[in-house]
Amino acid sequence: MTTALITGATAGIGAAFARRLAADGHDLVLVARDTKRLSEQATELHDRHGIEAEVLTADLSTEDGIAAVEARLSQPRQPVDLLVNNAGFGNKGRYLEVSMADELTMIKVHIEAVLRLTSAATASMRERGRGGVVNVASVAAFVPRGTYGASKAWVVQFTQGAARDLAGSGVRLMALCPGFVRTEFHQRAGMGTDNIPGWLWLDADKLVAAALTDLARGKSLSIPDPRYKALMGAVKLAPRGLLGGITSKTGRKYGPK
């Protein structure tokens, strides 16, 4: 039986990955900051699907948190076959309205943690000749919008570059770029969602199903909905100045978690 490790596992896209992978028979390592929620989730998934669900409490904005997950990913006797780097957050406010401490924390979680955990996982996977990594980015990666968009653009570029470098090794890497998903993401960031049209919202479970299909097909980039694929196609043709104006009006509300 294979094992998947999911960061940010207790809510949103992370929880949807946990549900789907458990239903498919994968054992899980569930990573988040809230031990109580992790334990409840692990018990529920074990009872419902008969899989083993390990709990790992870790805050990926800290050195200790990242190191703890790195260590778990590197255990040769309990190998992880699929890593889902999903942990992340949004900041409310424009550039210079957000504290430098919050900006640096975002870089720690969205960039440093993704780099280190992907590296720990793929080093072991390459030795075994198999494995997969899904790094959850966002369609915000393709529009000019502050640290959040920049960090997600890094995730996309890093993942696709690593996928190319590991081609032929048996290890697959994919950047997942959803749009607006009905999760706790915006509420936790204190962001309103009243101005977001209903047709832009995605269902987390359907999103995960599409993402896993894309991973199985060997894609290094997944935009798992026809609506957002069309929008991102339009983004490539639109002037960057216009895009900047549009995203500044909506605020930092692109977010997959």
Give 194-209 pLDDT, tens digit per residue.
566 555 668 999 999 9
Q: Is 68 a domain residue?
A: yes
Per-residue confidence (pLDDT) for residue 190, from 0 to 100: 47
Considering only CA atoms, give the Rg of the chain.
17
Mean of the per-residue pLDDT values of the chain: 87
For residues 31 and 8, the answer to whether their CB atoms sit within 8 Å is: yes
User: In the predicted model, is pLDDT for residue 237 greater than 60?
Assistant: no
Fill in the amino acid letter for 202.
Answer: L
Within a domain: 240? yes
Question: 188: pLDDT confidence band, cut at 50, 70 and 90?
Answer: low
| pLDDT digits 0-9 by tens, 14-23 | 999 999 999 9
Residue 67 has pLDDT above 70, yes or no: yes
Q: pLDDT confidence of 232, banded at 50, 70, 90?
A: confident
Kindly state whether residue 168 falls inside one of the protein's structural domains. yes
Is 255 part of any domain?
no
pLDDT at residue number 213? 97
Residue 228 pLDDT more than 80? no
Question: Rounded to 10 degrees, what is the CA torsion of 107, 113, 167, 220?
Answer: -60
- State the pTM of this model: 0.86
Instruction: Reduce the DSSP state of residue 19 to 3 states and report it.
Output: helix
Dig out the tokens for 13 from the structure.
């896209």
**Predicted local distance difference test score (pLDDT) of residue 255:** 40
Q: Please determine, for residue 170, whether its predicted confidence score (pLDDT) is greater than 60.
A: yes
Residue 256 inside a domain? The answer is no
- Grade residue 104 by pLDDT with cuts at 50, 70 and 90: very high
| pLDDT attached to residue 70 | 98
Q: What pLDDT sits at residue 247?
A: 44
Residue numbers of the domain that contains 20: 3-250
β-pair partners for 83: 5, 133
**pLDDT confidence bin for 176, thresholds 50/70/90:** very high
- pLDDT value at 252 more than 80: no
Residue 223 within any structural domain of the chain? yes
Question: Taking the CA of residue 141 as centre, how many other CA atoms within 13 Å lie in the half-sphere pointing to its CB?
Answer: 26
Q: Which of 152, 174, 81, 154 is nearest to 121 (CA)?
A: 81
> Does 71 reside within a domain?
yes
Q: Return the CATH number at 139.
A: 3.40.50.720
Q: Are 12 and 185 in contact (CB under 8 A)?
A: yes
In a domain, 257, yes or no: no
Q: Catalytic residue at 95?
A: no
- Give the pLDDT score at 177: 95
Q: Which of 95, 148, 228, 254 is catalytic?
A: 148
Q: Number of structural domains, the chain?
A: 1
Q: Output the pLDDT for position 38.
A: 98
Closest CA to 30 of 46, 8, 50, 62: 8
